[in-house]
Amino acid sequence: MNPITLPQWMNRIFNRNAAAPVIIVMLLSMMILPLPAIALDILFSFNIALSIMVLLIGLQTKKALEFIAFPTVLLVTTMLRLSLNVASTRVVLTEGHTGPDAAGKVIEAFGHFLIGGNYTVGIVVFIILTIINFIVVTKGAGRIAEVGARFTLDAMPGKQMAIDADLNAGLIGEDEARRRRTEIGQEAEFYGAMDGASKYVRGDAIAGILVIIINVLGGLIVGMVQHDLAFVDAVRNYTMLAIGDGLVAQIPSLIISVAAGVVVSRVGNSEDIGGQLVTQLFSNPKVIFVTAGIIGGMGAIPGMPHFAFLLLASVLGASGYFIHQQQMEAAKPVVESKPEVVTEPEEATWSDVVPVDVVGLEVGYRLIPLVDKGQGGDLLKRIKGLRKKFAQEVGFLAPTVHIRDNLELKPTGYRISLKGVEIASGESHFGQLLAIDPGMVAGTLPGMKTTDPAFGLPAVWIDSATKEHAQSMGYTVVDASTVIATHINHMISLHASDLLGRQEVQQLLDHISKESPKLVEDLVPKVLSLSTIQKVLQNLLSEGVHIRDMRTIIETLSEFASQTQDANELTAQVRIRLGRAIVQQLFPNGNELSVMTLDNNLERLLLQATQNTNSGGSAIEPGLAETLSRKTEMAARQQEQMGMTPVLLVAAPLRAALSKFLRRVVPQLKVLSHEELPDSKTIRVTSLIGA
């Protein structure tokens, strides 16, 4: 039989759904119904134990959301203390004339043992504890919670943009993005609740002062008037009981306040509070040596307590020496002596011919930790996610990215190559974050200014400590691995047509033939060659058209292959069949298509030039070509400023030629023909080029 844990045992006894109503009813009952002294002893002891448990949980948490129920715990513990104050006040006033143990042994112990039976000392100690709790701990924790709530709310848009950026780059999935968004919302709610819950503790401190005053005055009246006690006896009995009652409630309140301050003031990392204190306070031997020297110097001054100061200086010095020795041992490199073996050079073989990597990534030596799992690097995992996302969106599996270090690069530099040729490069700083300006930030950040290597946006390399501040100002903050992964994803998308080789096309057809074997068998190689299909698919990818709908592509090729074997003409027919998907890709929302068009006279001239070119005549006149490219670039820029995708709508005979020509001038421009537009869409012309 498996052993039953304490939480399972409690769940069997208590129903979770009934816990909250039962607690509320018990708290109200304590305020209304009289309690015997033994019950007060048990409840006061439980109150102290509960406050210690809350403090220990707060010290063990690594981030605030691990103790998300803390605001509710503050309310419940505050109501418990107030209920005990009401119950103990009733007992003190009704039974206080019988002696100092009238309200139970716990109150008597706090009234005699802790303050030595001197009620004047007790009053002073109680006031000091109240001041510490009310002015120092509670006020500071409330201020931290207020500022934390404000900064968390301000940083939410930046954090949401960072999550969207990771999701779009394929670094995380939908479930992880949903979890992060939920965590951001919970964080804002937590600090907002803590800001309000801190008022409970402040109110509790004020109530403690009023309760002890009421107990003393009420006890004097009850003792002297109703029980005929002398003034001295009434003061002694009721004051000691009131002080003991106040202390037994104020000490748990102080512990809870310290726990609240610990939870809201910690800066989250992978360590708890104890680990942070030990690591950051006692990890620098130089600081310990200097402190030992200062304390030892103070101990040598005449009139100072020599024993205490010199003893502490000796302990600090020995601790610093021990820590220094440990760090020196850890820093020593492990050298393994290997005998030198002299070998004769071998003859060259075919194994020395290394094939060129289709996609390669070379990194400087300071970026090696990003690709080393042993050092916590996650770049390999991110690249795997990119390839999966690329396959799902574009329609084929990109080649594996081969990563190697290159000492010839800058220590923080990296280089992306395609078939052995560099296509992009950049820099990334391990241990720092890149704050990218999306165009609507609220200010500037200190740090090394640069540009986002993937999209060319202005950016700043910042320390991790300023991450939340940067997000609150509207910056999109990403780490060093994300910078490289996003750049690789962008370059793979731009060069998708170059990545689709004959092997990838064959694998793609084999994958389709598993579900539709007859469809592929009737096309390849009976009607079209593999190279022609590859050319058609590359034509589509070069203009940013996804090839996920391979069924439609193969059916279209099978239909028109008997009429033409030209890859460009077949591409045009495939684009018409994929028109709905192409338009959906460019205009994901709404039925209205905002496009640019050519002036009728300009379009007529271009059609004539295209016909002359096909019949062996001259191409577009250079002056006309320069004017066309300049006007198109201006219109595309205007389209982007209005937040719309730059799309040029032209006649079908012009589409392929203009797309190839204008792509060099305006890479982001998409050229569509009238035949590719679905009938259900509405066209709105935003710019007329050549008017």
CATH number at residue 683: 3.40.50.12790
Check residue 268 and give its pLDDT. Answer: 52
Domain membership flag for residue 12: no
Strand segments (E) across 560-658 = 592-598, 647-650
Domain membership flag for residue 690: yes
Place of tokens 């990545």: 499
pLDDT at 13 over 50: no
Q: Which of 237, 269, 301 is the last residue of a domain?
A: 269
Q: Are residues 226 and 324 in the same domain?
A: no
127 vs 358, residue with greater confidence = 358
CA atoms of 199 and 175, how far apart (whole Å): 37
Residue 169: C-alpha distances to residues 177, 474, 476, 584, 594 (Å): 12, 19, 14, 20, 27
pLDDT at 396 over 80: yes
CATH number at residue 560: 1.10.8.540
1: pLDDT confidence band, cut at 50, 70 and 90? very low
Q: Which of 269, 301, 320 is the last residue of a domain?
A: 269
Q: Are residues 520 and 613 in the same domain?
A: no
Q: Are residues 393 and 307 in the same domain?
A: no
The vertex-157 CA angle with 155 and 163, nearest 5°, equals 100
pLDDT at 664 over 60: yes
Report whether the peptide linkage leading into residue 525 is cis, meaning its omega lies within 30 degrees of zero: yes
Q: What is the DSSP letter of 357?
A: P
Average pLDDT over every residue of 241-249:
74
20 vs 10, residue with greater confidence = 20
Residue 185: C-alpha distances to residues 156, 205, 530 (Å): 8, 31, 52
CA atoms of 611 and 98, how far apart (whole Å): 117
Question: Which of 539, 563, 554 has the alpha carbon at shortest distance from 671?
Answer: 539
383 vs 218, residue with greater confidence = 383
Average pLDDT over every residue of 281-304:
79
618: pLDDT confidence band, cut at 50, 70 and 90? very low
Q: Are strands 448-451 and 421-427 parallel, antiparallel or unpaired?
A: unpaired
Q: Are residues 553 and 473 in the same domain?
A: no
Q: Are residues 321 and 370 in the same domain?
A: no
Domain membership flag for residue 582: no
450: pLDDT confidence band, cut at 50, 70 and 90? very high
Strand segments (E) across 419-472 = 421-427, 433-436, 448-451, 458-462
Q: Are residues 200 and 241 in the same domain?
A: yes
Those residues with Cβ within 8 angstroms of residue 12's Cβ, 6 or more apart along the chain or in another chain: 4
Percent of the chain surpassing pLDDT 70? 85
Domain membership flag for residue 14: no
Question: Which of 478, 477, 480, 271 has the alpha carbon at shortest distance from 375?
Answer: 480
End-to-end CA distance of the chain: 87
Check residue 73 and give its pLDDT. Answer: 81
572: pLDDT confidence band, cut at 50, 70 and 90? very high
Per DSSP, the three-state class of 304 is coil
Average pLDDT over every residue of 448-454:
92
Q: Are residues 463 and 363 in the same domain?
A: yes
Ranges 192-206, 208-222, 319-333, 622-636: which has the least confidence: 192-206
- C-beta of residue 119 within 8 angstroms of C-beta of residue 246: no
Most confidently modeled range among 181-190, 293-302, 401-410, 614-623? 401-410
- Burial annotation 83-92 (CB, 10 A radius, 16+ → b, else e): bbbebbbbbb
Domain membership flag for residue 649: yes
- C-beta of residue 390 within 8 angstroms of C-beta of residue 488: no
- C-beta of residue 42 within 8 angstroms of C-beta of residue 61: no
The separation between CA 536 and the C-alpha centre of its own chain, rounded to angstroms, equals 42
Question: Which of 605, 607, 648, 650 has the alpha carbon at shortest distance from 623?
Answer: 605
Those residues with Cβ within 8 angstroms of residue 116's Cβ, 6 or more apart along the chain or in another chain: none
Q: Where are the alpha helices (DSSP H) in 441-501?
A: 467-472, 480-494, 496-499
Q: What is the pTM of this model?
A: 0.54
Tell me what the pLDDT averaged over the chain comes to.
81
Place of tokens 């490289």: 484
Average pLDDT over every residue of 532-555:
93
617: pLDDT confidence band, cut at 50, 70 and 90? very low
Q: Are residues 51 and 124 in the same domain?
A: yes
Domain membership flag for residue 43: yes
Domain membership flag for residue 171: yes
CA atoms of 261 and 132, how far apart (whole Å): 13
pLDDT at 117 over 70: no
Q: Are residues 109 and 60 in the same domain?
A: yes
Average pLDDT over every residue of 446-451:
91
Q: How many CB atoms lie within 10 A of CB 602?
A: 18
Average pLDDT over every residue of 77-102:
74
For residue 456 the two structure tokens come to 């060319």
Q: Which of 495, 530, 550 is the last residue of a domain?
A: 495
275: pLDDT confidence band, cut at 50, 70 and 90? low
Check residue 487 and give its pLDDT. Answer: 94
CA atoms of 631 and 597, how far apart (whole Å): 11
For residue 37 the two structure tokens come to 């002294």
Report, in angstroms and rounded to the nearest whole number, the Rg of the chain calculated over CA atoms. 38
- C-beta of residue 573 within 8 angstroms of C-beta of residue 556: yes
188 vs 662, residue with greater confidence = 662
CATH number at residue 483: 3.40.30.60
Q: Are residues 372 and 454 in the same domain?
A: yes
CA atoms of 222 and 8, how far apart (whole Å): 49
Q: Are residues 32 and 99 in the same domain?
A: yes
Q: Which domain does 320 fall in, by range?
A: 282-329
CA atoms of 381 and 311, how far apart (whole Å): 53
Domain membership flag for residue 199: yes
Per DSSP, the three-state class of 433 is strand
Q: Are residues 123 and 51 in the same domain?
A: yes
Q: Are strands 433-436 and 458-462 parallel, antiparallel or unpaired?
A: antiparallel
Average pLDDT over every residue of 101-121:
65
Question: Which of 616, 618, 606 has the alpha carbon at shortest distance from 652?
Answer: 606
pLDDT at 272 over 70: no
- 183 φ, ψ (degrees, to nearest 5): -65, -40
Ranges 176-180, 391-395, 609-613, 648-652: which has the least confidence: 609-613
Check residue 239 and give its pLDDT. Answer: 72
pLDDT at 615 over 50: no
- C-beta of residue 436 within 8 angstroms of C-beta of residue 452: yes
Domain count for the chain: 5
